[in-house]
């Protein structure tokens, strides 16, 4: 199954919030997912297990770093591999 997740990470008390965001984007780039970075959020699309593993790793990494943050996650229902939804690329 393929899952799409959109997340928004908001560092609450970071001196340099962009640094925290860039750190997480580098973490995302290490996973086998399609990535779409936008101004306010990032979307990832990939195998369901990998997407959930990535979300957990991001959350745990920032907690270990001692960051205070909000982490918003939206999930689309999964599709079979090779399928797309109406409005997505390839449909």
The reply to whether 50 falls in a domain is: yes
**28 in a domain, yes or no?**
yes
Please report whether residue 82 resides in a domain. Answer: no
Q: Does 39 reside within a domain?
A: yes
First to last CA, the chain: 17
What pLDDT, on a 0 to 100 scale, did the predictor assign at position 86? 63
> Is 85 inside any structural domain?
no
- Over residues 38-75, the pLDDT tens digits come to 999 999 999 999 999 999 999 999 899 888 999 999 99
Q: In what order do the strands lie in the sheet with 2-11?
A: 34-37, 42-47, 2-11, 69-75
Alpha helices in 6-47 (DSSP H): 17-29
Per-residue pLDDT reduced to its tens digit, 3-51: 999 999 999 988 888 888 899 999 999 999 999 999 999 999 999 999 9
Q: Is residue 84 part of a domain?
A: no
Burial class (CB in 10 A: 0-12, 13-18, 19+), 14: middle
The Cα 51–Cα 4 span in angstroms is: 8
**Separation CA 37–CA 67 (nearest Å):** 21
Let me know if residue 41 belongs to a domain: yes
Number of domains in the chain: 1
Question: Pick the residue with more confidence: 89 or 73?
Answer: 73
| CATH number, residue 63 | 3.30.70.930
Domain that holds residue 42: 2-75
């Amino acid at each position: 199954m393929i899952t799409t997740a959109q997340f928004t990470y908001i560092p609450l008390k970071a001196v340099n919030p962009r640094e925290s965001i860039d750190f997480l984007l580098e973490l995302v780039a290490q996973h086998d997912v399609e990535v779409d970075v936008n101004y306010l959020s990032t979307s990832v699309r990939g195998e369901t297990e990998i997407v959930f593993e990535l979300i957990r790793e991001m959350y745990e990494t920032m907690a270990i770093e001692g960051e205070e943050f909000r982490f918003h996650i939206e999930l689309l229902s999964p599709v079979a591999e090779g399928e797309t939804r109406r409005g997505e690329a390839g449909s």
